[in-house]
């Protein structure tokens, strides 16, 4: 159906919808004049609706649309409306006119009018049902849910009518309630008729059809409609209590059928959250009734209620409210049962307390209802707490391997419990074949839950996966045999399924234990590494003290140094013992360090500082090496953690991509630190024991000196440069520094050309300004590289597993501080933060590389391209087949030597390529890499890109390299023998 047609059907639906409430609302006023006037309004609206429906048909005919189902539907509605207006409504009005003109016969005429009025309403609702088409199961479920709410409302109204005093003249609403109950039955029947049509027309998916069949929706719907017919009769006869009990059963069945037809939640966590939402609704409903029960009603309010004892009326209202809360709790339990049976078990006692509270209220014992109401609320809150716990665990299980494994264990335990229950049902079915369908349904439910668990992302565990798959296969076999009414044949399969589930549980428990042990080992190794680093630092202090004593001509006693050395030996041995099982290689080096410490102590005690100092240095080196070995062990175990975490989020975590981005971030961070060092060196502050002033302050001093020397232009530019530095605007600062330098050089030249003149202080000031300019440029380059490192780090964080996120976060903070310090002209402090960030990032990268290599995938290192692999013999700085030159550093692009454009400009002598966050194209030194395996047109694209991105002096080398590849020649050495 096109959008335009849907709009026209919607318009017709709206016409009928607006009339049904108007027609249903029978005036409580018994005045026939007012009743007649209301019927006239109804007639006018029906006439208008008929005209508009006819107009819609005329438009469709004008547009020459085919005479299909839609037009027939509208035509039937239009003709029906005209018939109502001309026949039914006129009959109603005629009876009311007689009632007005003949007051003595008014009551009988009004009854006749009402009977006809009921027929009008029924026909309008039939039209509404014609237009309100159910297009899918979710819409059917929604209609049934609304019907259940109407039924619950009628339960309350039935109870309300049951407490009205008995009089000769009937003053209750039995006719209206019976009519509403009958209308509800018609509505429910129409829903199932349309569901039957969906099945017959084969528009449902296999999953949706299975939902209908599993719920036995059609036979249950037919039975429900049949059961609802006597309920209307009981209401019409004034038997409100019996009718109310039947209505409760109808409401429960409607809700159960709605839940069965509704699409299930997409995931377990969605189901948990949906159950929690239902529990929250139940808590709100119970909280409100508790509050209303505890309130004292003012006397004037109860006196205004007519026809019944005020206390009875209030107790009944509270009981009706309590009944609604009971249904809300039932909804919550039903939602929790499939996904969180523990929470559902907590709701059941709460429902029992709710029933007790309602009974007390029906007996007008308002005070007696308070205690069970409070217990009911407490039980619901406990259920919510349990759901909150499970949701938190499920959320954590998305990223935490241990939490995921423990949750899987809980789910397997529940599966074992349910499989045992299913086995018991199968035993019963063997004795009573009529119970076989129940056993088959239970077996299918357990199989579905097993399948869901098998498909849940979990840390790699081949034994658990194999066991779950075996259990699932056995469960399916058992279900198939139960479907064929063969319970005895299903028993062996069920036994196999149970055994396989037990094996899966054992495998998962072993895995959880291994993860806990691994995390404990990581924590212990990190602790021991910190101790080793501290011992190495103290050992170096001993070595320096020994060297100082050896260089002292006075030959001082070294006994105190020997005592310091002696104090380091016991903790070193303790660390070595703790490392024996965790990191044997590191433990061996610690033992060797201990031996050196003993020798150093002996030499120092004999006043032999030179020999003792050498042994202390050897001990410190051994401790440093041991710390590196421990870090390798940490990386290995964190790599295992990263592998587990990546398995939990296969569509989000990409450890290899994160490693590549980390390599870029490290490269940029190191470059930023180098540039910061250049800036600090350019300041040339000889007094190392004094704090280095920031660049802005030094620039202000130049501006002041220029003013003192009567150089206004230079002073102005220098001052503007200082202001720009204060604001962190480095480009503006450089621009003004260049102007100041130009003015100062000009002033120095003028003084040199004067008779008996020399450049003097202007020349000195120009040199100082040049120094600051160089420092600011280096600062700017460091700032740019720092920003590039932050960008690459952010990309890495988006793909990295949780195992390294803490390290990445800390490195991000350090780079952020470095950026702030660079903006303040403090290169020294910035450089230290950048170095620390690069170190932390390298450790994270090592862990990711361990995870990658464990899965047979390449790792990454700074300065290497995306196709490079850690451990292939390449060194940082090598690329595109050229031999690494002496003195090359990580990130020097294509394996070339020192920058070749030094002195050609005042910009970055390394070019701009490093600031583009692009991976270098590393290969082995033989030239056999990813580039050579490309198709010719792809190589041409790379070559064209290189022609536009690389500095001019590199292009010829790149072209020659490409020619070498084409001719299969070995890589040529770099220029200058590098």
Please report the pLDDT score of residue 74 as a whole number: 55
Tokens matching residue 863: 């300065």
Average pLDDT over residues 71-88: 57
Judgement on whether residues 384 and 492 belong to the same structural domain of the protein: no
Please report the pLDDT score of residue 784 as a whole number: 87
Up-side HSE of residue 5: CA atoms within 13 Å toward CB?
Answer: 16
pLDDT at 102 over 70: no
Task: Report, in this order, helix, strand and coil percent for the chain, each rounded to 5.
Answer: 80, 0, 20
658 with 799: CB under 8 angstroms?
Answer: yes
DSSP summary character for residue 892: -
All residues at 6 or more sequence positions from 766 whose CB lies less than 8 Å from its CB, including other chains: 741, 744, 745, 747, 748
Domain count, the chain: 6
| CA 214/CA 211 separation, integer angstroms | 5
Percent of the chain predicted with pLDDT > 90: 43
Residue 162 resides in a domain: yes
Judgement on whether residues 461 and 506 belong to the same structural domain of the protein: yes
| CA 851/CA 656 separation, integer angstroms | 9
| CA 260/CA 338 separation, integer angstroms | 12
895 with 906: CB under 8 angstroms?
Answer: no
Final residue in a domain of this structure, among 600, 621, 653:
653
Query: Across 120-134, 351-365, 632-646, which has the greatest mean pLDDT?
Result: 351-365
Please report the pLDDT score of residue 950 as a whole number: 47
Judgement on whether residues 646 and 533 belong to the same structural domain of the protein: yes
391 with 272: CB under 8 angstroms?
Answer: yes
Judgement on whether residues 729 and 800 belong to the same structural domain of the protein: yes
Burial of 766 (0-12, 13-18, 19+ CB in 10 A): buried
Q: 295 or 943, which is more confident?
A: 295
Tokens matching residue 732: 């503006």
Percent of the chain predicted with pLDDT > 70: 70
Judgement on whether residues 435 and 577 belong to the same structural domain of the protein: yes
Final residue in a domain of this structure, among 854, 879, 898:
854
Judgement on whether residues 109 and 239 belong to the same structural domain of the protein: no
Helix or strand (DSSP H, E) at 411: helix 401-431
pLDDT at 887 over 60: no
Residue 403 resides in a domain: no
| CA 613/CA 625 separation, integer angstroms | 18
Please report the pLDDT score of residue 4 as a whole number: 45
Please report the pLDDT score of residue 815 as a whole number: 92
| CA 675/CA 782 separation, integer angstroms | 5
Judgement on whether residues 224 and 83 belong to the same structural domain of the protein: no
Residue 383 resides in a domain: yes
pLDDT at 679 over 60: yes
pLDDT at 874 over 50: no
DSSP 145-159: HHHHHHHHHHHHHHH
pLDDT, tens digit (0-9, with 9 covering 90-100), for 263-284: 999 888 999 999 999 999 999 9
Residue 535 resides in a domain: yes
pLDDT, tens digit (0-9, with 9 covering 90-100), for 2-14: 444 444 444 444 4
CATH of the domain at 315: 1.20.120
Judgement on whether residues 156 and 129 belong to the same structural domain of the protein: no
pLDDT, tens digit (0-9, with 9 covering 90-100), for 919-934: 444 433 344 444 444 4
Q: Domain range spanning residue 320?
A: 264-298+306-397
Residue 404 resides in a domain: no
| CA 344/CA 387 separation, integer angstroms | 10
CA distances from 657 to 418, 611, 642, 662, 669 (A): 42, 50, 13, 9, 18
Tokens matching residue 686: 């000889």
Tokens matching residue 457: 């992302």
pLDDT, tens digit (0-9, with 9 covering 90-100), for 227-246: 999 999 999 888 999 999 99
Judgement on whether residues 660 and 804 belong to the same structural domain of the protein: yes
Judgement on whether residues 932 and 821 belong to the same structural domain of the protein: no
Up-side HSE of residue 188: CA atoms within 13 Å toward CB?
Answer: 34
Sign, Cα dihedral of 648, 649, 651, 655: negative
Please report the pLDDT score of residue 592 as a whole number: 95
SS3 313: helix
Average pLDDT over residues 165-174: 62
Final residue in a domain of this structure, among 620, 653, 686:
653
Please report the pLDDT score of residue 503 as a whole number: 97
Q: How many CB atoms lie within 10 A of CB 734?
A: 20
pLDDT at 908 over 80: no
Judgement on whether residues 448 and 577 belong to the same structural domain of the protein: yes
Residue 860 resides in a domain: no
Please report the pLDDT score of residue 55 as a whole number: 66
| CA 590/CA 532 separation, integer angstroms | 9
pLDDT at 369 over 80: yes
Q: Taking the model in full, what pTM does it have?
A: 0.56
pLDDT, tens digit (0-9, with 9 covering 90-100), for 763-786: 888 888 888 888 888 888 888 889
All residues at 6 or more sequence positions from 448 whose CB lies less than 8 Å from its CB, including other chains: none
Residue 407 resides in a domain: no
Residue 960 resides in a domain: yes
Q: How many CB atoms lie within 10 A of CB 199?
A: 16
Output the average pLDDT for the chain: 79
Q: 293 or 165, which is more confident?
A: 293
Please report the pLDDT score of residue 90 as a whole number: 54
Judgement on whether residues 381 and 463 belong to the same structural domain of the protein: no
Helix locations, 432-558, DSSP H: 436-455, 462-483, 487-551
Of 695, 852, 874, whose CA–CA distance to 774 is shortest? 695
Q: How many CB atoms lie within 10 A of CB 526?
A: 14
């Amino acid at each position: 159906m096109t959008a335009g047609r849907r709009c026209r059907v919607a318009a017709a639906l709206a016409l009928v919808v607006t009339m049904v409430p108007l027609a249903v609302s029978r005036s409580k006023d018994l005045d026939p004049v007012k009743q007649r006037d209301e019927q006239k309004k109804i007639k006018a609206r029906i006439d208008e609706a008929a005209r508009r429906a006819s107009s819609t048909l005329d438009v469709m005919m004008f547009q020459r649309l085919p005479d299909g189902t839609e037009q027939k539907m509208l035509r039937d509605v239009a003709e029906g409306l005209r018939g109502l207006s001309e026949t039914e409504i006129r009959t109603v009005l005629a009876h009311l006119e007689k009632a007005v003109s003949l007051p003595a016969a008014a009551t009988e005429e009004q009854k006749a009018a009402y009977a006809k009025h009921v027929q009008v309403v029924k026909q309008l609702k039939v039209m509404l049902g014609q237009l309100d088409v159910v297009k899918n199961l979710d819409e059917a479920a929604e209609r049934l849910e609304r019907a259940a709410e109407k039924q619950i409302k009628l339960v309350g109204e039935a109870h309300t009518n049951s407490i009205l005093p008995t009089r000769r003249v009937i003053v209750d609403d039995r006719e209206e309630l019976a009519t509403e109950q009958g209308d509800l039955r018609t509505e429910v029947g129409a829903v199932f008729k349309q569901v039957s049509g969906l099945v017959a027309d084969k528009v449902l998916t296999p999953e949706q059809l299975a939902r209908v069949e599993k719920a036995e929706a059609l036979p249950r719907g037919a039975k429900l409609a049949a059961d609802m017919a006597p309920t209307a009769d009981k209401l019409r006869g004034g038997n409100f209590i019996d009718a109310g009990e039947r209505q409760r059963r109808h409401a429960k069945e409607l809700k159960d059928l709605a839940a069965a037809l509704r699409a299930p939640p997409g995931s377990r966590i969605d189901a948990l959250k949906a159950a929690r939402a239902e529990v929250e609704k139940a808590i709100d409903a119970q909280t409100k009734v508790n509050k209303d029960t505890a309130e004292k009603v003012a006397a004037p309010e109860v006196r205004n209620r007519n026809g019944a004892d005020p206390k009875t009326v209030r107790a009944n209202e509270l009981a009706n409210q309590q009944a609604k809360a009971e249904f809300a709790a039932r909804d919550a339990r039903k939602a929790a049962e499939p996904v969180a049976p523990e929470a559902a078990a907590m709701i059941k006692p709460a429902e029992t307390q709710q029933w007790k509270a309602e009974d007390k209220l029906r007996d007008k014992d308002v005070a007696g209802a308070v205690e069970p109401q409070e217990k009911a609320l407490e039980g619901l809150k406990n259920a919510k707490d349990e759901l909150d716990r499970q949701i938190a665990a499920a959320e954590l299980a998305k990223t935490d391997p241990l939490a995921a494994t423990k949750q899987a264990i809980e789910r397997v335990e529940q599966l074992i419990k349910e499989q045992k229950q299913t086995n018991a049902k199968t035993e019963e079915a063997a004795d009573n074949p009529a119970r076989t369908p129940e056993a088959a349904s239970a077996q299918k439910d357990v199989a579905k839950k097993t399948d869901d668990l098998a498909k849940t992302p979990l840390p790699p565990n081949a034994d658990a996966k194999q066991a779950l798959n075996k259990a699932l296969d056995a469960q399916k076999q058992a279900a198939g045999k139960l479907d064929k009414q063969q319970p005895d044949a299903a028993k062996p399969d069920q036994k196999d399924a149970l055994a396989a589930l037990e094996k899966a549980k054992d495998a998962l428990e072993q895995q959880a234990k291994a993860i806990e042990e691994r995390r404990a080992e990581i924590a212990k190794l990190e602790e021991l590494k910190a101790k080793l680093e501290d011992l190495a630092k103290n050992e170096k202090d001993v070595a320096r003290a020994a060297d100082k004593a050896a260089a002292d001509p006075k030959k001082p006693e070294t006994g105190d140094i020997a005592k310091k050395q002696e104090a380091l030996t016991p903790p070193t041995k303790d660390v070595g013992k703790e490392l024996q099982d965790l990191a044997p290689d590191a433990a061996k080096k610690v033992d060797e360090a201990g031996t050196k410490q003993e020798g150093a102590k002996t030499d120092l005690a004999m006043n032999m500082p030179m020999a003792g100092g050498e042994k202390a240095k050897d001990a410190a080196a051994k401790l440093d090496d041991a710390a590196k070995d421990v870090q390798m062990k940490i990386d290995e175990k964190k790599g295992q953690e990263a592998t587990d975490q990546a398995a939990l989020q296969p569509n989000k975590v990409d450890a290899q991509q994160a490693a590549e981005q980390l390599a870029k971030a490290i490269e940029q961070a190191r470059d930023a630190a180098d540039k910061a060092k250049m800036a600090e060196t350019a300041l040339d502050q000889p007094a190392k024991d004094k704090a280095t002033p920031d660049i802005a302050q030094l620039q202000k001093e130049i501006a002041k000196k220029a003013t003192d020397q009567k150089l206004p232009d230079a002073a102005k530019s220098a001052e503007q440069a200082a202001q720009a530095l204060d604001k962190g605007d480095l480009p503006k600062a450089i621009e003004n520094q260049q102007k100041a330098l130009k003015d100062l050089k000009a002033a120095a030249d003028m003084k040199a050309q004067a008779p008996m003149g020399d450049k003097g202080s202007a020349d000195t000031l120009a040199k100082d300004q040049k120094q600051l300019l160089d420092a600011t440029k280096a600062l700017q380059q460091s700032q740019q590289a720092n920003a590039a490192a932050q960008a690459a780090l952010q990309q890495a964080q988006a793909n990295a597993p949780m195992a390294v996120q803490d390290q990445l976060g800390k490195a991000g903070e350090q780079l952020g501080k470095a950026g702030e310090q660079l903006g303040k002209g403090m290169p020294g402090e910035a450089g230290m933060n950048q170095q620390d960030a690069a170190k932390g990032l390298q450790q994270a990268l090592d862990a990711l590389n361990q995870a990658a290599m464990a899965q047979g995938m390449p790792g990454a290192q700074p300065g290497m391209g995306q196709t490079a692999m850690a451990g292939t013999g390449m060194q940082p700085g090598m690329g595109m087949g050229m031999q690494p030159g002496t003195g090359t550093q990580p990130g020097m692009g294509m394996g070339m030597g020192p920058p070749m454009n030094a002195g050609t400009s005042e910009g970055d002598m390394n070019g701009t390529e490093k600031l583009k966050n692009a991976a270098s194209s590393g290969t082995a030194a033989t030239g056999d890499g990813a580039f050579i395996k490309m198709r010719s047109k792809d190589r041409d694209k790379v070559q064209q890109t290189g022609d536009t991105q690389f500095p001019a002096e590199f292009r010829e080398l790149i072209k020659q390299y490409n020619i070498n590849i084409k001719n299969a020649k070995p890589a040529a050495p770099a220029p200058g023998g590098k």
